[in-house]
Structure 1
Amino acid sequence: MNAVEKHIPIIFNPSENRENQYISILVQGMEEKGFEVSSLDDFLSSSSHFQSIRLVHLNWFENLDEGSNATMWKSFFRKISAVLLIKGGGKKLVWTMHNRLSHEKGSGKLSGILVKLLLKSVDTIVVHCSATEAILRGQKLNYSGEILNIPHPHFIGTYGPELKGSTGSSEVLKLLFLGAVKPYKNLELLIRVCREFGDAVQLTIAGKASSKDYADELHQLAEGNTSIQLELGFVEDRRIPELIGASDLLALPYDLRSSLNSGTVILAFSYARTVICPKIGTIDELGEQQGEVFTYSYISESEHEVKLREAIAGACEEKRQDPAALLEKGRKMKEYVRRENDPDIAIERLDRLYRKLLS
């Protein structure tokens, strides 16, 4: 950027997230491209700031605060008002569609209303996989506007250096679930299936639980089984390479009804681990590389249990036959995302999009 060129004020929301470095990667990249990034909370800080903002980019905006009915409705009306204010003020609006539906069951209908308003209001929708575009163009949403597909940025080195670990020297299959601990991620199912394998499988679940009640439920399910370790609190960045390095692969039994993209899948690949994961959009986007992951589809909850059990059994057998096989899959996936999910690709495409919309 020329030294005399002014920074372009935009809103990128959220502008920071201590639990997800996806945001910091993109915000830092856009700032290096010459954009001055603020959060939506700063939108009305002053009339001059409001007037200076010409573009707003929203992420996970359809998700509502479910702390109570009162906070959910307050969150809903606040977000409706924000969209109307953005458009009424003549601002360009970009929305990244991360998931098929809101993950939160209680606020699903209100979230759906927000999505419909966004579909009518946005100038461009950013997606991270072709499956999202297909849903947007489908009969249910029937969106006909502009869609920009950009690769989800990888996290190689973001949380510190990769730790090699020594999991290949053990016959025990070491599984890790990493991320926000919420009911839609089917962790009850994962615990139940892993218990069936006895000492042959060790499972660690690490992440902040959505509520004390849900944490208590998971502790009860894991009670008495020393092969299941629960670390249900905020995971500091420095611990992420350690947790991944101590695992053979990540087990992520997401709900196909709501999940489309997974940053945790990209995180696993970034630290040279493959995954067990249903065929969500992130997995489907891998093409021929799907042979390096343990993936499956299902229609019912009972079929999900069968397919998850088969995937874990398959990983156990592959490690038994070749102790280095799973780690080799992980190494291949790291090289894949290094090439295909370079953050510079996403940042460059967002830069072009923003400048086109503002021209």
Structure 2
Amino acid sequence: MDIIFNPPDNTENKYIQIMVEPLRQDGFRIHELDGLFSGWKHFWSIRLVHLNWFENIDDTSFFKGLRSFFRKMVVLTVIHLSGKKLVWTMHNRMTHEQKTGKMSSILTDRLLAWSDAIIIHSQLSRALILAQSPSLSQKIHYIPHPDFVDCYGPVPSSSPSDDSALRLLFVGAVKPYKNIELLIETVGDMKDVSLMIAGKAKDEAYKDSLTQLAKRFPNIHLNLAFVPDSLLPELLAKSDVVILPYDLASSLNSGTVMLAFSYQKTVICPEIGTLVDMEEARENFFGYRYEDPAGHRKVIRQAIDQAMALKKRDPKALEAMGKAMQAHVLSRQPKARVGNKLKQLYHKLVSS
């Protein structure tokens, strides 16, 4: 079967590979969205189109955003009118790009209306969709976010130092909605806590601003470049806790949370959809909620204090929490189960 899975590859995120590989093994021929109009024969051979993050629009300039918006609207309209099965994965509450938010909302409305199936990775997503339109309930299909166990290599045998200092790690794309400034300022004046921020900054201007801010604090360490896959396991192994102070207004699911759990690390993170689904395991991670930036800084500091006190009482406690979370994701949402659910959905759609 010829299908489009967009994007078909992503060198910075193993999620795409995990989702696509079982499809290829099952005989699906995966094509790029950009080639949809390469010829009539190819166009009519495509039976299903699966879109990820399609509602996101480049906000580096108004004209780039406008051009992207109209192009995407044309593509969506053609897919809809041609009768191809359309699948959309809902990854976020709303786009993280603030300047193109209105255009993104229009695209999201079309995706909700025209999709034959809406894949969600957390049950909170279902509630958000139904609050907007209860009639969409039959389109929603819950497929859990897959684990990343061994995707970047095995868990290293090395572990964080046994001293009482708490080693925090932020890893992933470094963007404003992830509250990096708040994190630096909160951890910067804390004793016996260090923070490593590792990941590619949104642009040079943002990189420079974070570098200037971090200079004030000797316990803040920056590596604002893409982290190669081969270095991720060691980077995680040297930390006690992965800290991810996401914006609750837009964030919903997190592959980085799943990455941390897959590599036996617990997290400090707001209660986004990924963590809400893990309520039965909440004693093994530090979830929290907040109402505003001031409240966010207060509760994240409390979570850090809690983790630090736990490590001082028992140097192996945080390690045990991480191992428990790896066992949890392996039992609830293993890669193989996710791949099977996606294949079953596709077959059901094209046979209907």
1:129 aligns with 2:117: no
Corresponding residue number in structure 1 for 2:222: 230
Corresponding residue number in structure 2 for 1:42: 35
Asked if 1 retains the 8 angstrom alpha-carbon contact of 2:307 and 2:318, the reply is: yes
1:70 aligns with 2:63: yes
User: Which residue type is aligned with residue 159 of structure 1?
Assistant: Y
- Out of 182, 199, 208, which is 1:207 matched to? 199
Corresponding residue number in structure 1 for 2:168: 175
User: Which residue type is aligned with residue 227 of structure 1?
Assistant: N
What are the within-5 Å matches in structure 2 for residues 111-260 of structure 1? 111-139=104-132, 143-198=136-191, 200-260=192-252
- Out of 13, 20, 39, which is 2:13 matched to? 20
Q: CA deviation at 1:144?
A: 4.1
Corresponding residue number in structure 2 for 1:3: none
Corresponding residue number in structure 2 for 1:345: 337
CA distance in 2, matches of 1:263, 1:341: 13
Q: Percent identity?
A: 47
Corresponding residue number in structure 2 for 1:61: 54
What TM-score do the two structures reach when normalised by structure 1?
0.96
1:281 aligns with 2:273: yes
Asked if 2 retains the 8 angstrom alpha-carbon contact of 1:168 and 1:323, the reply is: no
Q: CA deviation at 1:190?
A: 0.5
What CA deviation, in whole Å up to 9, does each residue of 1:262-297 have, x standing for no partner? 000000000000000000000000021011001111
User: Which residue type is aligned with residue 211 of structure 1?
Assistant: D
1:265 aligns with 2:283: no
CA distance in 1, matches of 2:158, 2:99: 41
- Out of 271, 278, 283, which is 1:291 matched to? 283
Q: CA deviation at 1:116?
A: 0.6
**Secondary structure, aligned partner of 1:107:** helix
What TM-score do the two structures reach when normalised by structure 2?
0.97
User: Which residue type is aligned with residue 254 of structure 1?
Assistant: Y
Asked if 2 retains the 8 angstrom alpha-carbon contact of 1:127 and 1:150, the reply is: yes
**Secondary structure, aligned partner of 1:167:** coil
Q: Please, what is the CA RMSD of the aligned residues?
A: 1.2
Q: CA deviation at 1:145?
A: 4.0
CA distance in 1, matches of 2:116, 2:135: 15
- Unaligned 5+ runs, structure 2: none
- Out of 317, 322, 326, which is 2:318 matched to? 326
What CA deviation, in whole Å up to 9, does each residue of 1:205-264 have, x standing for no partner? 111111111111111111042211111111111011011011001000001000110000
CA distance in 1, matches of 2:221, 2:133: 41
CA distance in 2, matches of 1:143, 1:301: 34
What CA deviation, in whole Å up to 9, does each residue of 1:9-57 have, x standing for no partner? 0000000001110001111111112211111112112211111001000
Stretches (4+) displaced over 6 A: none
What CA deviation, in whole Å up to 9, does each residue of 1:132-169 have, x standing for no partner? 00000004786344110011010000001111333151
CA distance in 2, matches of 1:301, 1:248: 25
What CA deviation, in whole Å up to 9, does each residue of 1:300-342 have, x standing for no partner? 1111111000000101100011001000000000111111121
Asked if 2 retains the 8 angstrom alpha-carbon contact of 1:168 and 1:327, the reply is: no
**Secondary structure, aligned partner of 2:96:** coil
